[in-house]
Amino acid sequence: MRPVDMQQGPKAAAVRPGGPLDDDADTPPYGGGQDGPQVAPPAARDGRAAADVYLEVQRGAAFQEVRGRYRGFVVPASAAFLGWYLAYVLAATLAPGVMARPVAGAVNVAMVAGLAQFLTTFVLTWAYVRNARRGRDRAALELRWAVLDRGVGGGAGRGTS
């Protein structure tokens, strides 16, 4: 028995916009103009555009501090991990004798270093989450509330759910 293909056959062509039985082939589906439905950009409570509020927050000292804390962890950690990974690849390529040296039984230096790559990934993930929780999450949440208190972002402030 052949499975039914929901996109094929005369019935599918009849309901598809622009199909042979579509009477409104010249109009876009679901209303709106040629460029799709027209949606007004969100505005803050004071009438300013949302983009203006976001730019103001982005230029503020609190946002710059959060971004600085983020970069202060991510850039060095990424550089260290990339360096560690490249050292592993270079050692495997340029020093195969060292990498083939047995450590315990059939386990050699290359296997230990490869498993250390996985361990490093988990440690780095844990360190990132810990750093975010201790150094950035509260400040980022306060920034979010500041934007929501101005009436931007789909909420009306702290009192709404």
pTM attached to this predicted model: 0.57
Q: At what angle do helices 50-59 and 137-149 cross, to 10 degrees?
A: 150
Task: Return the number of other C-beta atoms located less than 10 Å from residue 151's C-beta.
Answer: 19
φ, ψ of residue 156 in degrees (nearest 5): -110, 20
Q: How far apart are CA 41 and CA 155, in angstroms?
A: 15
Per-residue pLDDT of the chain (161 residues; tens, 9 = 90+): 444 444 444 444 444 444 444 454 455 454 445 555 554 455 556 667 777 878 888 888 888 888 888 999 999 999 999 999 999 999 999 999 999 999 998 999 999 999 999 999 999 999 999 999 987 888 888 888 877 777 666 554 454 44
Eight-class DSSP state of 113: H
User: How many residues are there in the chain?
Assistant: 161
